[in-house]
């Protein structure tokens, strides 16, 4: 944040790359801050105190308190930090799956490609929320169901993207020459294709976070996964529904705003990364 101020004060106008770097830093700082802060106020988020229940947002309780006197600011931070952790886990697993499936679809000939494409179409055919519900049920519900569900269902579109990219790469001359020179498919994939795919993979990885977080909050909102005592962002919002009609607007508004902010920042970070990794934008 300090860096941002000093640069804004200077008369020098930032170019696109510097701006991208700045925003990337801001979003990483914010997200890391929330993740760490949430971890430390986990204890405080669970404290109930009836002497301070239903307080509207004020200086002491920025997000107000709920009907059990729990501090909504701490609850929101804890919930978000859990969302971010689940998001990281999900994005990691899904991105690796996407890379493996996408590359093998494109490298190992037509039959494998057909099978994997069919698999992708099947998974994408079930509406995402229903798939999450099904996986949660298969895992016997609970936190495990949410984490596994979110982690295993986000690879489809990235796998498609990578497959397309590899198919295009295969037509390139240097790949064909490498094949003619007798290099094995695996070696070509590893030495000639992977470096090319890495930027796409990284950007795809970061851009998976927003989806993962949105789906995690949705599925906990629907009541799959965590018990109502747990401060997860979906649980907080679904609990707030009961109290909304009584005018306790802060219970829904602030946690939701924080959630949207988190998702937007992940999205922003991803597109900044994309711009920084793209060699065509060096001169902007």
Partner 1 sequence: MLKKNLLFAGKNLIRMFLLLFAVSIATFALVAVSPIDPLQANVGQAALGSMSEEQKEKLRSYWGADTPPVERYVNWAKAALRGDFGTSLLYRQPVMNVIGVKLANSLFLMGLAWVISGLLGFVLGVIAGVYKGRWPDRLIKGYSLVIASTPAFWLALLLLLFFGVWLKVLPIGLSVPIGVEAAGVTFFQRVRHAILPALTLSITGISNITLHTREKMIEIMDSDYVLFARARGEKTGKIIFHHGLRNVLLPAMTLQFASISEIIGGSVLVEQVFSYPGLGQAAVAAGTGSDVPLLMGITLITAAMVFLGNFAANLLYGAVDPRIRRGGGKV
Task: Give the nearest distance from C-beta 102 to partner 1 in angstroms.
Answer: 17
Pattern 4-23, binding to partner 1, x per CB under 8 A?
A: --------------------
Burial (CB < 10 A; 0-12, 13-18, 19+), residue 27, is buried
Angle between helices 128-138 and 194-221 (to 10 degrees): 80
Task: Give the nearest distance from C-beta 238 to partner 1 in angstroms.
Answer: 8
Pattern 177-196, binding to partner 1, x per CB under 8 A?
A: --------------------
Task: Give the nearest distance from C-beta 234 to partner 1 in angstroms.
Answer: 8
Residue of 202, 205, 210, 211 lying closest to 267 (CA atoms): 210
Identify which of residues 48 and 117 has a Cβ nearer to partner 1 in the complex. Answer: 117
Q: Which residue has the tokens 């000639």?
A: 192
Q: Which residues of 207-241 are buried (b: 16+ CB within 10 A; e: fewer)?
A: bbbbbbbbbbbbbbbeebbbeeebbbbbbbbbbbe
- Tell which positions 99-138 bind partner 1, by CB under 8 A: 118, 121-130, 133-138
Task: Give the nearest distance from C-beta 235 to partner 1 in angstroms.
Answer: 12
Terminal CA-to-CA distance of the chain, rounded, Å? 24
Stretch that binds partner 1, among 21-29, 66-74, 178-186, 215-223 (CB under 8 A): 215-223
Pattern 64-103, binding to partner 1, x per CB under 8 A?
A: ----------------------------------------
- Tell which positions 231-260 bind partner 1, by CB under 8 A: 237, 240-241, 244-245, 247, 249, 252-253, 256, 259-260
Q: Which of 61, 155, 201, 221 binds partner 1 (CB under 8 A)?
A: 221
Angle between helices 72-107 and 194-221 (to 10 degrees): 140
- The two tokens of residue 204 are 């795809």
Query: CA-to-CA distance for 157 and 204, rounded, in angstroms?
Result: 9
List residues near partner 1 by CB under 8 A: 118, 121-130, 133-141, 210, 214, 217-218, 221-224, 237, 240-241, 244-245, 247, 249, 252-253, 256, 259-260, 263-264, 267
């Amino acid at each position: 944040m300090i860096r941002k101020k000093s640069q804004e004060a200077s008369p020098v106008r930032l170019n696109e790359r510097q701006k991208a770097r700045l925003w990337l830093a801001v979003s990483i700082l914010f997200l890391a801050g929330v993740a760490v802060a949430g971890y430390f106020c986990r204890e405080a988020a669970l404290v109930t105190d009836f002497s301070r229940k239903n307080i509207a947002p004020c200086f002491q309780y920025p997000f107000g308190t709920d009907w059990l006197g729990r501090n909504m600011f701490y609850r929101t931070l804890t919930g978000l930090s859990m969302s971010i952790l689940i998001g990281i886990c999900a994005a990691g697993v899904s991105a690796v799956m996407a890379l493996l499936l996408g590359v093998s679809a494109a490298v190992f000939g037509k039959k494998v490609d057909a099978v994997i494409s069919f698999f992708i179409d099947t998974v994408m055919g079930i509406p995402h929320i229903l798939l999450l519900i099904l996986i949660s049920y298969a895992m016997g519900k609970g936190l495990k169901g949410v984490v596994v569900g979110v982690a295993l269902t986000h690879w489809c579109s990235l796998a498609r993207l990578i497959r397309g990219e590899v198919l295009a790469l295969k037509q390139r001359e240097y790949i064909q020459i490498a094949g003619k020179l007798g290099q094995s498919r695996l070696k070509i994939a590893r030495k000639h294709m992977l470096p090319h795919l890495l930027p796409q993979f990284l950007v795809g990885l970061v851009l998976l976070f927003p989806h993962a977080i949105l789906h995690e909050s949705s599925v906990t909102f629907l009541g799959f996964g965590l018990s109502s005592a747990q401060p997860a962002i979906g649980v907080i919002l679904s609990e707030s529904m009961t109290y909304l009609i009584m005018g306790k607007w802060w219970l829904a508004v602030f946690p939701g705003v924080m959630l949207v902010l988190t998702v937007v920042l992940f999205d922003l970070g991803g597109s900044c990364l994309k711009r920084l990794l793209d060699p065509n934008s060096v001169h902007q």
